[in-house]
């Protein structure tokens, strides 16, 4: 290893990415983290290139990519011009899945908002001694679900 490069231990990297050291070892075993150096005593030494790869892994994992998807992506990335169609297909498929999940989450969030307003209305009516609201008045209302 060249001197002057910042290096990290497995514990430092694991803490930085909020994961267990065993996960980093697994990623290495699966071929997702490559060229991990070792000290003379056998401890792993991570460099900035590993940090960058882990950022990509975490992002793609959060987007729902499987280990097999990640392996394909990084293999394709080794020769982007030869695999540009496969890269685009893999990413487009993931984007479509994320869009479907986002729509389902938005629908669920809207339902929760309606229920919150409905049950909040029940509580207000009970506290005020008034008639209880009717769910039919809430079930088609549109509420903001923005954070």
* Tens digits of residue pLDDT in 39-76: 999 999 999 999 999 999 999 999 999 999 999 999 99
Q: pTM of the full predicted structure?
A: 0.77
Confidence of residue 5 (pLDDT cuts 50, 70, 90): confident
Q: Is 135 left (phi over 0), alpha (psi -120 to 50) or beta?
A: alpha
Handedness of CA 47, 48, 51, 56 (dihedral sign): negative
Estimate the crossing angle of helix 67-77 against helix 80-128, to 10 degrees. 140
8 has which bridge partners?
A: 46
CA–CA dist 70, 26 (Å, integer) = 13
State residue 145's pLDDT score.
Answer: 75
Q: Which pLDDT value is given to residue 4?
A: 64
Whole-angstrom CA distances from 19 to 12, 22, 24, 26 are: 10, 8, 8, 11
């Amino acid at each position: 290893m060249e001197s002057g490069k910042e290096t990290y231990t497995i514990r430092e990297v694991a803490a930085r990415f909020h994961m267990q050291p065993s996960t980093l070892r697994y990623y290495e075993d699966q071929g997702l983290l490559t060229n991990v150096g070792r000290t003379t005593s056998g401890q792993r030494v991570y460099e900035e290139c590993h940090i960058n790869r882990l950022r990509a892994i975490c992002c793609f994992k959060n987007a729902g990519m499987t280990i097999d998807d990640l392996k394909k992506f990084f293999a394709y990335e080794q020769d982007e011009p030869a695999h540009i169609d496969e890269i685009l297909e893999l990413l487009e498929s993931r984007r479509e899945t994320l869009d479907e999940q986002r729509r389902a989450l938005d629908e669920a969030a809207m339902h929760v908002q309606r229920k919150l307003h409905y049950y909040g209305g029940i509580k207000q009516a009970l506290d005020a001694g008034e008639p209880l609201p009717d769910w039919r008045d809430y079930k088609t209302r549109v509420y903001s679900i923005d954070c």
